[in-house]
Amino acid sequence: MTHLTGKRPKLVFYPTRKSPPRPAASEDDFRIYASYRGSKTAGYLGTLKVVRVTDGRLLYPFDGADAIGLYSTKEEAIRAAQQRGEEIVSADLACPEL
């Protein structure tokens, strides 16, 4: 019979095998998450997250990325963020950054 000493068992993590990054082959290899933040009185900014699924790399936002406008409606802010996301996907397909 073992005594409980109040110590937690030690967790051991084994390194996972990562496959080498590979460039995306089509627009299906990306996820674009476009949304907005702000209010009716202050205006709306588009928010964006672009992920390349093939290697899980976050393409946007990045350090130094500029804000996506200041719009009077939520729909305009989301549309601008979606458009920026599509531009980033097109640029990465044309010239992948690994």
Strand ranges inside 1-98, DSSP E: 30-39, 43-52, 57-60, 68-71
The answer to whether the CB of 88 falls within 8 A of the CB of 58 is no
Write out the chain's pLDDT in tens, 98 residues. Answer: 555 555 666 666 666 556 666 778 899 999 999 999 999 999 999 999 999 999 889 999 999 999 999 999 999 999 999 999 999 999 999 998 76
Q: Which helix (H) or strand (E) holds 78?
A: helix 74-94
- Structure pTM? 0.76
Q: How far apart are CA 2 and CA 72, in angstroms?
A: 67
